[in-house]
Structure 1
Amino acid sequence: MTTVVAYEGDSAWGAPELVSGHWLDGPGQAVVTARFLTAAGIGVGDTVTLDEKGRRATVRIVGEAFFTQDGGMTLLTSTATLAELGLGDEALPGRFHVRTASGTDPGQYLDTLNRALDGAGVAALAHADSGNSSSVIVAMDALIGMLTLMLVVVAGLGVLHTVVLDTRERVRDLAVLKALGMTPRQTVAMVVTSVAGVGLLVGLVAVPAGMALHGMVTPFMGDAVGMTLPETVLAAYDGPVLAPLSLGGLVIAVAGALLPAGWAAGTGTARALRTE
């Protein structure tokens, strides 16, 4: 048994993201997920026969989409298929999707529509065009964000540890330079710049390496839930995003070096000269 969701009219603009094939453009067509195709042992281009109280309708799978409603086992088709199954009169619309014209105030439109629907037992809700709003994508984004934050913290602590050891070993040299006239600000700048170059180089190397790793790992995350992820999920990087990411190593290096740099700048010259 499977759930059938029927669309009427021009529904391409509100369709789930397609992985392959095309959206419904005529009667006798259906769109399903990779999980449905795997469970049925079929592929895009094959046919499926639907049976309802002795009446049958055959639909051809014309596209594979990404959605997680009903565990991804829902079959999407047109209302013409319901008519073939004798459900044309019984099947009432359960949801209407409305796309507002450009320049329309969504809040005002929603308030007006809800006032018109008051007393009918239905309500209108606004849904932002967020693209990847699936619970699977949200969970994946949360996991990736948490891992990224942990890696940033670990990297910053690693820089802090390295710079602390290096600064303590060079404390006498820094004291000599301070005795010759180096200011605290120059001391901080010297300590920070000692790791800035390495941080910048690491950032430039890590970005393409991370993109390659993302391209290999993300599809496996989709496979774990029996789904083929759309290209919009895999192509997560563009120019405006890559530029700040390439400076990430520099930012982490500077942030990790600031504390020991401040300690070096505040250490008294006489005390440091007595340190061997």
Structure 2
Amino acid sequence: MGESFDTSGNELEIHADMANFESAEPSSFLVDVKHGVSADEYARKLAAVVLPLGGDATANAASEQKGIILIMDAMAVLLTLMLVVVAGLGVLNSVVLDTRERIHDLAVCKAIGMSPRQTMSLVFASVAAIGVIGGLMGVPVGYALHRVVMPMMGRAVGTGLPSSVLDVYGPVQLLLPGLGGVVIAMLGALVPAGWAAKARTARALRTE
């Protein structure tokens, strides 16, 4: 019969084609109106037609699921921001230590004519490779975890997940997180790069 992604009820339900049940008769119909059509007006006009036949039509109240989905999306965004901040702080810590160790070399380069902008570019270039490697490693791992964790979550609540829920990452969606690794690396290196660019050459040359 297949699987249906439905968590609206409190009990497990079977969703199947009516052709599989010869003696079954539908008792209710769910109608989704087009965009711009008033559900209340549609239900009122439909009720006027079906009431003489023993039926009825009403418009459903606003679903609470939209609020739940909004909360889940907000939690996902908050978790993503927290991960980005943690990753940026990790890059910041690494670049600060690396820049302090290389301050004498950077001072030599500044002494022979390297501009502050070129100094910042040199620091950014040193972390760009880290961002690329992080993106190349993180995107496949995240994609694989998504294919494993999502079905497990569905089975935990007693439902299967269709392909529309699992197959949500296309080439563009996978490319953006990969580029995000480079962006996070650049943001994490922004402060150390500025410090290296502003460091006085004579003071840095005396630093060992």
Shorter-normalised TM range? 0.7 to 0.9
Q: Separation in 2 of the partners of 1:208 and 1:110?
A: 45
Give the gaps of 5 or more residues in structure 1.
Answer: 1-20, 22-62, 84-90, 101-105
Contact 2:40 2:59 in 1 (8 A): no
Q: Does 1:272 align with 2:200?
A: no
Shift of the 160–192 alpha-carbon distance from structure 1 to 2, 3 Å rule, reads same
Task: Write the deviation string for residues 10-53 of structure 1: whole angstroms up to 9, x where unpaired.
Answer: xxxxxxxxxxx2xxxxxxxxxxxxxxxxxxxxxxxxxxxxxxxx
Query: For residue 203 of structure 1, what is the aligned residue in structure 2?
Result: 135
Task: Write the deviation string for residues 104-133 of structure 1: whole angstroms up to 9, x where unpaired.
Answer: xx33x329937x76xx99557799xxxx96
Task: Write the deviation string for residues 111-169 of structure 1: whole angstroms up to 9, x where unpaired.
Answer: 9937x76xx99557799xxxx9695x767655554443332221111100000001011
Contact 2:134 2:181 in 1 (8 A): yes
Query: For residue 65 of structure 1, what is the aligned residue in structure 2?
Result: 4
Superposition map of 1:153-192 within 5 A: 153-192=85-124
Following TM superposition, the consecutive aligned residue runs of length 4 or more in structure 1 with deviations greater than 6 angstroms are 124-127, 137-140
Q: What is the alpha-carbon root mean square deviation over aligned residues?
A: 3.5
Residue identity (%): 50
Contact 2:4 2:15 in 1 (8 A): no
With the length of structure 2 as denominator, give the TM-score of the two structures: 0.75
Count of equivalent residues: 193
Q: Does 1:81 align with 2:24?
A: yes
Q: Separation in 2 of the partners of 1:124 and 1:228?
A: 26
Q: Which has the higher contact order (CA 8 A, sep 6+)?
A: 2
Q: Separation in 1 of the partners of 2:156 and 2:177?
A: 28
Contact 1:172 1:272 in 2 (8 A): yes
Q: Separation in 2 of the partners of 1:254 and 1:191?
A: 9
Shift of the 112–82 alpha-carbon distance from structure 1 to 2, 3 Å rule, reads closer
Query: For residue 37 of structure 1, what is the aligned residue in structure 2?
Result: none
Q: Separation in 1 of the partners of 2:60 and 2:5?
A: 25
With the length of structure 1 as denominator, give the TM-score of the two structures: 0.59
Q: Separation in 1 of the partners of 2:154 and 2:81?
A: 22
1:64 deviation in Å? 3.2
Task: Write the deviation string for residues 169-226 of structure 1: whole angstroms up to 9, x where unpaired.
Answer: 1112111111111111000000000010121122112211211111112211122222
The aligned amino acid for 2:92 is L
Superposition map of 1:181-260 within 5 A: 181-260=113-192
Larger relative strand fraction: 1
Give the gaps of 5 or more residues in structure 2.
Answer: 49-56
The aligned amino acid for 1:224 is A
Q: Does 1:113 align with 2:56?
A: no
1:232 deviation in Å? 1.6
